[in-house]
Amino acid sequence: MFSHVVIFWTNPANPNAADELLAGAEHYLRPIPGVLHFHVGKMAGSHRPVVDQSYQVALNLVFPSKQAQDEYQIHPLHVDFVEKVFKKVCTKVVVYDFE
């Protein structure tokens, strides 16, 4: 198993940025083959101080292998997502990959 977790900070000047990012992920990323688990959503608030609440959207993908994740990264739909959605609505991203 290979997990790919992406944390997005959206542009605060665009009040619809989080919703546009979610819609874009559903449109461009969900159909890409090789993903065993796809989950994208808005940050969930918490009263616990250890929970990071500075971001707006997170994406959690699970692949059968690192090779499958590498293929996902260069898939034309992923490239389109980055160019047409991510670059328009995000100011920062952090990625956590682990096996």
| Domain positions in the chain | 2-44+54-98
Taking residues 18-29, what's their average pLDDT? Answer: 98
DSSP structural state of residue 34: T
Taking residues 50-75, what's their average pLDDT? Answer: 97
What's the token pair of residue 48?
């616990």
Q: Would you say domain 2-44+54-98 falls under CATH 3.30.70.100? A: yes
Confidence of residue 15 (pLDDT cuts 50, 70, 90): very high
Confidence of residue 38 (pLDDT cuts 50, 70, 90): very high
Confidence of residue 32 (pLDDT cuts 50, 70, 90): very high
For β-strands 2-10 and 37-42, DSSP reports them as unpaired
Residue 98's contacts (CB-CB under 8 Å, 6 or more residues apart) are 2, 3
Confidence of residue 70 (pLDDT cuts 50, 70, 90): very high
The reported pLDDT for the residue numbered 54 is: 96
